[in-house]
Amino acid sequence: MLAEIPTIAIDLVQIEANSSVLADEFIAHRLGLIPLNAEGIEALNYSRDCDCEEYCERCSVKLSLHAKCTGDETMSVSARDLLPVGERINQVLGTPVINDPDGMGALIMKLRKGQEIKLTVIAKKGIAKEHAKWAPSAAIGFEYDPHNKLHHLDLWYESDAKKEWPPSEYADWEEPPQESEPFDYDAVPNRFYLNVETAGPLPPDAIVTQGIKVLQMKLAGLVHSLSDEGDGGDYNGPRSPEYGGGGEGWGQDQGFTTPYGNGGNQSSWGGAGGTTPYGQTPYGAGAGGGWP
C-alpha cells in the first residue's frame, strides 16, 4: 500500500517563462509533489508500455499554468491554477487534489508585481518504488487484539502495563476477556484494524483494495511460475543436470564448451576433467556428456 500501488504524478516540466525568485529546478520539484487525482488510473498505460514516442493521451495527462502578478499585493500561485489540456481518459484523472477550505490546493509559489510564470507539465503513471511522488499514502498503521487476549504485550511495559497500553478505540468492537476465561494456546490473530492516511491521489478504502489486488497479482504470478516449472511448461531458467530426466538438453551444447575442447569436459591441466596439477581427483575421469 506504500510502494506498488500505481498513481499519477507530474514527471516532466517545460518552463517557458519564469521571472520569479525561485529557480526552475525548485519549481519543478514542488510541482512533482502536488497530489493528482488517480481515479481510473487502471486505464492509463505506463509510458514504457505505450506505443507513442514520448507521451500521449493514453499514457499521460497534460496540464498548463500561466500566472502573472499585475497588482501591488503578493499573488499566490497554487495547484488550482494547474489546468488540464487536451484529451483525457476521464474528466478527473490528473486534476490536482484540492481539499482545503479555501479551495486553493497546495501552494506552488508567490509572485510580486511584474513577475510571471508560464509552464506546461506532463503527468505520468508510476509507483512509489520509482519515486516517492507516486506514493498513494503517507502512513499506514495496524492493530490487532485490542484487549491483549493473546498476551503479546505482557512484557512490553516499563512499570504499569494498563497505563502504558490503554485500550484503543477498537476495543469497543470486540468482547473483553472474562476473568475466569482459560487461555487458548492455539489462538492466532484473526482481525486486523488498519489506519491508512492517504496522500491524496486515492481514498483510503481504494488504497486498501488496490493493495490487495497487487498482492493477489504477485501471488498469482508466483503460482503460475511454480506450476509451469512443475508441469514442464515454458520454464527456461537454469536447471540442474538431473532436471527433466538426467540432464537432457545439456550434452555437447556449444554454449557450454570451453576453449580446451572435448565438449567442455577437459581442463587446462589435461585429462578428461578428473586430473589436476595435484593428482587424480576422487571424481575420476569424468563422463563424455560434460557431467561426472
User: Which pLDDT tens digit goes with each residue over 155-210?
Assistant: 788 888 788 888 889 999 998 888 888 888 898 998 999 999 999 999 999 999 99
Task: Supply 213's cell numbers.
Answer: 489486488
Task: Report the candidate in 100, 29, 88, 46 with the shortest Cα–Cα distance to residue 63.
Answer: 88
Q: Over pLDDT 70: what percentage of the chain?
A: 78
Write down the pTM of the prediction: 0.69
Please report, for the chain, the start and end positions of each structural domain, with discontinuous segments joined by +: 7-137, 139-206, 238-292
Residues in Cβ contact with 72 at an 8 Å cutoff, skipping those fewer than 6 apart: 113
Which ranges constitute the DSSP H helices of the chain? 24-32, 161-164, 204-230, 243-246
Residues in Cβ contact with 212 at an 8 Å cutoff, skipping those fewer than 6 apart: none
Q: Which tens digits make up the pLDDT trace of 238-254?
A: 333 333 444 344 344 44
Matching CATH number, 7-137, of 2.170.120.12, 3.40.50.300, 1.10.10.10, 3.40.190.10: 2.170.120.12
Which carries the bigger pLDDT value, residue 28 or residue 165? 28
- Mean pLDDT computed over 94-119: 95
Q: Write out the DSSP string of 160-197.
A: -HHHHS---GGGGGSPPPPTTPPP-TT-----EEEEEE
Which carries the bigger pLDDT value, residue 44 or residue 285? 44
H/E stretch holding 129 reads: none
Q: Do domains 7-137 and 139-206 have the same CATH topology?
A: no
Task: Supply 107's cell numbers.
Answer: 501552494
At 276, give phi and psi (nearest 5°).
-125, 170
pLDDT for 177 equals 85
Which carries the bigger pLDDT value, residue 289 or residue 131? 131
Task: Report the candidate in 109, 117, 115, 121 with the shortest Cα–Cα distance to residue 16.
Answer: 117
Q: Is 177 left (phi over 0), alpha (psi -120 to 50) or beta?
A: beta
Protein fold of 139-206: Gyrase A; domain 2 (3.30.1360)
Task: Supply 13's cell numbers.
Answer: 516540466
At 218, give phi and psi (nearest 5°).
-70, -40
**Using 50, 70 and 90 to split pLDDT, how confident is the model at 53?**
confident
Least confident of 22-26, 35-39, 185-189: 185-189
Residues in Cβ contact with 190 at an 8 Å cutoff, skipping those fewer than 6 apart: none
Q: Which tens digits make up the pLDDT trace of 65-98?
A: 999 999 999 999 999 999 999 888 898 999 999 9
Query: What distance in Å separates the CA atoms of residue 269 and residue 237, rounded to the nearest whole number?
Result: 31
pLDDT for 229 equals 57
H/E stretch holding 138 reads: strand 137-144
Query: What distance in Å separates the CA atoms of residue 213 and residue 208, rounded to the nearest whole number?
Result: 9
pLDDT for 260 equals 44
Which carries the bigger pLDDT value, residue 235 or residue 163? 163
